[in-house]
Amino acid sequence: MTRLSEIYPPDRVVLREVGLRDGLQMVQRYPSTAAKAEWLRRESAAGVRHFEIGSFLPAKAMPQFADVRDIIDICRSLNVHSAALALNDRGATDAVQTPVGEIVTVVSATEEHSQANTRRTREEAIALVGKTVELARGSETSPLVQVGIAMAFGCSIAGKVDPDDVVRIAAACAEAGVDMIGLADTVGFAGPDQVQDLVECVKNELGDVALSIHLHDTRGMGIVNASAALDAGIRVIDGSLAGLGGCPFAPGATGNVVFEDLVYLCERKGFATGIDLEQLMSVREIASSEMPDEQLFGALPRAGAPRLISWRAR
């Protein structure tokens, strides 16, 4: 069994909580390190095992991630899988000097967003992916490397995205040696048919490459798109506690699909998550206390969680 399949078993659904990274990108106030530690402790006690917890970016630009190394150590003490974003050479170099379990890097599906987000072309971004893989493979801890293809379903700067461009980028990143490819609906343009079609296109081109999906709920389609992704065979899905999140370089981007609602969706579709919903929803108290000006979303927290039983097992 490879390390990838140990961390992301292909026969089960894995839900990754990205609230401590994507969820904090655009907030005015952010949790203290102690509050982040409690966030992680309580979510891990609820059964969450995969987290994206910060970025290796200059603290001056993103002070909310200045404690990323401390948070990685906390994840290690809790025996949960940590992932962190690295957008440049310096970030990747810093990342491999920590025990982070996974480095996430990004290639934009459009030139316009690539320039706005990272000030580099798509080809330069793909080259950086290759360098990140080399750094990871040559390090003592050998973290996994995932590339997220931003704006894969539509771009708020360029408009429509050609699926062939996404497939080409995915193929180039697979050739560079990434462990997983993420398809990101960065600004919530996608619908369920588009999700299924793009997943099918990538699978047809790349075969058994590991895929994940990262969804935003900008237009209220996050949960239905997650359902379509599950039907298309995706088994790794990102979500954010209370739907926090957004992209500062993507006009119109709002929060991620609500993690609590995502857990409920999976359970109702017969995919066991191992996550206790009541315990999970209690973590919202931390977000509310630490970031009182942020709006918290979620249908399940609003309506309450019924007692869950196993309708089907997949």
Tell me which residues are annotated as active site. 247
CA angle, 48 then 52 then 56, to 5°: 155
Q: Supply the Cα-derived Rg of the chain in whole angstroms.
A: 18
Tell me the CA distances in angstroms from 8 to 262, 296, 305, one per residue in order: 17, 29, 27
Residue 140 in tokens: 């003592």
**DSSP per residue, 253-289:** --PBPBHHHHHHHHHHTT------HHHHHHTHHHHHH
Cα separation of 182 and 150, whole Å? 8
Task: Assign residue 139 a region (left: φ > 0; alpha: ψ between -120 and 50; beta: otherwise).
Answer: beta
Q: Give me the helices (H) in 79-191, please.
A: 89-95, 111-118, 122-138, 163-176
For residue 243, which of 288, 191, 296, 300 has the smallest C-alpha distance? 296
Task: Tell the residue number behind the tokens 């309708």, with chain if given.
Answer: 311
Residue 306 in tokens: 């019924």
